[in-house]
């Protein structure tokens, strides 16, 4: 008797390759094998890869983070920069302030408000169209100065706070408390005296910024004539400086030490000239003799009165 073939036998049998699987039918009904597609050469794919990489970098820098070149020494030694030199290139986080508010101690890049730039010339661009094109492209990727008047400073006070300088110990004061500012750089170590300015109440929606190189920085104290005009709108802030990316020897994070975190009650009074500080001592010397003389006369009168009563 012939045993029935299980229905799974066809499934268990290994598939045989179809010789005509990759073949096309010709005009006469005969099949011919299809030629495999030829891969593009490296030199053809290279421009495509470059365009894709540039597009991704553009999107990254426009919406997430951007590289900026530090043009001056106003933030020494936190950030290095000088005219005509290879300054630090910093990666600026552009999304942080979409979720949080700027805080004291943050080093920020911002577009100069109108009072800051009204008397400044715009960044020069070459008259050559080709050179100008590459300058614009380079600015997008941090390889050339941006064609805009941007600044980098540290936030000292925020909206609603009152800032002034200085207390008797030469410290900036915010809401009556002297700031803790270990990042301050003095060009001349023998002259560690800050320029004073009267109290300024920072408007809501603004920040008060200053450079770490305190005596070589025109910031909220002097830009726009100082005062309220020196404050920077929060809406002008581009982002927070996070990392120094170039040169390699300067790699590292950017300090965001909050100067208000360890603020102390301000020392009463302002620093006075030396001759004024000597006035109390001089007064004491002058007044000492009459006081002693008067004390002796009073003592003698008392003794005479006691003796008469005896």
- Show which residues are catalytic: 74, 153
Question: Any idea of the CA torsion for 134, 59, 70, 110, to the nearest 10 degrees?
Answer: 120
């Amino acid at each position: 008797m012939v045993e029935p073939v299980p229905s799974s036998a066809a499934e268990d049998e290994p598939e045989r390759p179809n010789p005509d699987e990759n073949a096309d039918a010709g005009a006469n009904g005969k099949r011919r094998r299809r030629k495999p597609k030829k891969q593009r050469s490296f030199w053809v794919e290279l421009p495509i890869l470059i365009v894709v990489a540039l597009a991704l970098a553009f999107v990254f820098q426009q919406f997430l983070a951007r590289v900026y070149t530090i043009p001056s020494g106003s933030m020494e030694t936190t950030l290095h920069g000088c005219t005509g030199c290879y300054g630090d290139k910093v990666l600026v986080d552009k999304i942080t302030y979409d979720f949080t508010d700027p805080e004291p101690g943050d080093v920020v890049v911002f577009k100069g408000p109108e009072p800051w730039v009204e008397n400044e010339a715009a960044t020069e661009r070459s008259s050559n169209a080709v050179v100008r094109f590459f300058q614009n492209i380079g600015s997008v990727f941090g390889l050339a100065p941006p064609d805009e008047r941007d600044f980098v400073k540290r936030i000292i006070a925020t909206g609603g706070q009152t800032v002034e300088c200085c207390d008797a110990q030469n410290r900036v004061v915010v809401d009556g408390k002297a700031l803790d500012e270990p990042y301050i750089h003095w060009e001349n170590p023998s002259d560690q005296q800050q320029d004073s300015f009267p109290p300024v109440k920072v408007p809501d929606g603004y920040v008060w910024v200053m450079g770490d190189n305190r005596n070589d920085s025109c910031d909220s104290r002097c830009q726009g004539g100082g005062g309220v005009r020196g404050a920077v709108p929060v809406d002008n802030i581009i982002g927070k400086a996070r990392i120094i990316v170039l040169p390699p020897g300067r790699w590292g994070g950017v300090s965001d030490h909050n100067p208000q975190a360890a603020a102390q009650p301000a020392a009463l009074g302002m620093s006075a000239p030396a001759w004024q500080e000597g006035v109390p001592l001089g007064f004491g010397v002058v007044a000492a003799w009459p006081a002693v003389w008067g004390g002796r006369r009073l003592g003698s009168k008392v003794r005479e009165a006691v003796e008469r009563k005896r």
